[in-house]
């Protein structure tokens, strides 16, 4: 794998330290104390309990947190995440703060979910039935990703707010060729849209690095950093869409 030399900025994700929408004031103060010193990434709090009420509570909380951060750090760059676990699906309910020019929108991307989370125990018992799901990079599959990110792209273009895809990855129970193909397409698509990105993650269930062999998983790692953008080519849409068996998604036509 070719070596990369670049300037890197450190971003620490506070994963699982506290569930802010359910936390008491003392827990929130502890979160803020860490966040102000560590980089302030406002992430979605809990799994499984989202809905309009909690989505709105998240919007209220992020404004309260941002106001406190700005008291001590008026110029610090802050990443604002979405409800619904930080996913792109939560973007529609996000009330992004206005009149603050040092913010970045961050989203996670794990679609199609039954491909990226096949066999993942925390995704529920049904995830076992997803085993064997592949991602071929068909016209329909590629257009699904583009369409899902269109609203985020339009928001960024209209407001000038940068976008950072803070997580994307496919679990190791999927076949490596599909995982590499999907990761390559995602990375190149994010870059084409002007989004920065961070792959989830280094060396655990989604990892690009094998900690046992102490070596990169070359096919996956190279897929992420390759300069070849041909993966972005969608080809022509099929004359008609037939039902597909054990393929990751069924996709509407492009918008």
pLDDT tens, residue by residue, 20-38: 555 555 555 555 554 443 3
Q: Taking the alpha carbons of 183, 46, 41, 62 in that order, is the dihedral positive or negative?
A: positive
Measure the CA–CA gap between 184 and 208, rounded to whole angstroms: 12
76's CB contacts (< 8 A; 6+ apart) are 40, 69, 102
Instruction: Give all strands (DSSP E) within the chain, no chain letters.
Output: 41-42, 78-80, 103-109, 163-168, 196-197, 209-210, 215-216
| CATH number, position 163 | 3.20.20.80
107-152 pLDDT, tens digit each: 999 999 999 999 999 999 999 999 999 999 999 999 999 999 999 9
137: left (phi over 0), alpha (psi -120 to 50) or beta: left
- The alpha carbon of 108 is separated from its chain's Cα centroid by a whole number of angstroms, namely 2
Residue 196 domain flag: yes
Scanning 3-92, the segments in alpha helix (DSSP H) are 25-38, 52-72
- Relative to beta strand 78-80, strand 41-42 is parallel
54's CB contacts (< 8 A; 6+ apart) are 21, 46, 83
Residue 253 domain flag: no
Residue 42 domain flag: yes
Tell me how many domains the chain contains.
Answer: 1
Residue 243 domain flag: no
Measure the CA–CA gap between 102 and 79, rounded to whole angstroms: 9
pLDDT, tens digit only, all 255 positions of the chain: 445 555 566 666 656 554 555 555 555 555 555 444 333 344 444 445 556 777 888 888 888 888 888 888 888 888 999 888 889 988 999 999 998 999 999 999 999 999 999 999 999 999 999 999 999 999 999 999 999 999 999 999 999 999 999 999 999 999 999 999 999 999 999 999 999 999 999 999 999 999 999 999 999 999 999 999 999 999 888 876 544 434 444 333 333
With contact defined as beta carbons under 8 Å apart, do 66 and 97 qualify?
Answer: yes
Residue 3 domain flag: no
Residue 242 domain flag: no
Question: Domain of 181?
Answer: 20-232
CB count in 10 Å sphere of residue 62: 23
Residue 189 domain flag: yes
DSSP state of 202: S
Evaluate the omega torsion of the peptide bond into residue 172 and state whether it is cis, within 30 degrees of 0.
no
**How many Cα atoms sit within 13 Å of 207 on the Cβ side?**
12
CB count in 10 Å sphere of residue 27: 14
DSSP state of 134: B
Residue 248 domain flag: no
Evaluate the omega torsion of the peptide bond into residue 40 and state whether it is cis, within 30 degrees of 0.
no
């Amino acid at each position: 794998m070719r070596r990369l030399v670049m300037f890197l900025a450190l971003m620490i994700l506070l994963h699982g330290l506290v569930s802010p929408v359910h936390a008491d004031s003392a827990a929130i103060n502890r979160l803020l104390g860490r966040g102000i010193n560590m980089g302030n990434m406002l992430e979605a709090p809990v799994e499984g309990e989202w809905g309009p009420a909690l989505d709105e509570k998240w919007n209220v909380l992020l404004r309260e947190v941002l106001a406190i951060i700005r008291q001590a750090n008026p110029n610090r760059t802050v990443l604002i995440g979405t409800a619904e676990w930080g996913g792109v699906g939560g973007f529609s309910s996000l009330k992004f703060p206005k009149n603050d020019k040092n913010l970045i929108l961050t989203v996670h991307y794990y679609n199609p979910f039954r491909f990226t989370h096949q066999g993942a125990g925390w995704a529920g018992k049904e995830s076992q039935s997803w085993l064997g799901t592949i991602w071929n990079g068909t016209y329909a599959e590629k257009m699904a990703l583009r369409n899902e990110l269109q609203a985020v792209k339009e928001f960024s273009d209209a407001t000038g707010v940068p976008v950072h895809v803070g997580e994307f990855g496919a679990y190791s129970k999927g076949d490596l060729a599909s995982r590499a193909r999907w990761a390559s397409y995602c990375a190149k698509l994010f870059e084409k849209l002007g989004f920065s990105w961070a792959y989830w993650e280094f060396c655990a269930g989604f990892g690009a690095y094998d900690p046992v062999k102490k070596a990169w998983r070359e096919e996956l790692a190279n897929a992420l950093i390759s300069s070849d953008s041909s993966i972005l080519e969608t080809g022509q849409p099929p004359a008609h869409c037939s039902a597909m068996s054990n393929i990751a998604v069924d996709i509407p036509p492009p918008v």
